[in-house]
Amino acid sequence: MKVRVTVMLKDGVLDPQGKAISHALQTLGFDGVQDVRVGKVIELDLPGAKAEEAQKKADAMACDLLANLVIEDYSVEVVE
């Protein structure tokens, strides 16, 4: 079972990487970009786990290691 954990900075937390991308896009001539936020995707392969179990495992992994819950939010999605 493949699980995708998406980790994004919480709203209100400054995102310098996003700001840098926004400036770079403007420099390249892409107008109309108001806001850019950058996050991480972690794709985990959990062979033999059922969907519900995989979701729970990924949830625990995100809490313990993958996300810093002080400044980041995460979401877990079972892919296949």
Contact footprint for a second copy (CB under 8 A): 6, 8, 18, 21, 24-25, 28, 30, 32-49, 57, 60-61, 64-66
Q: How far apart are CA 46 and CA 50, in angstroms?
A: 9
φ, ψ of residue 35 in degrees (nearest 5): -145, 140
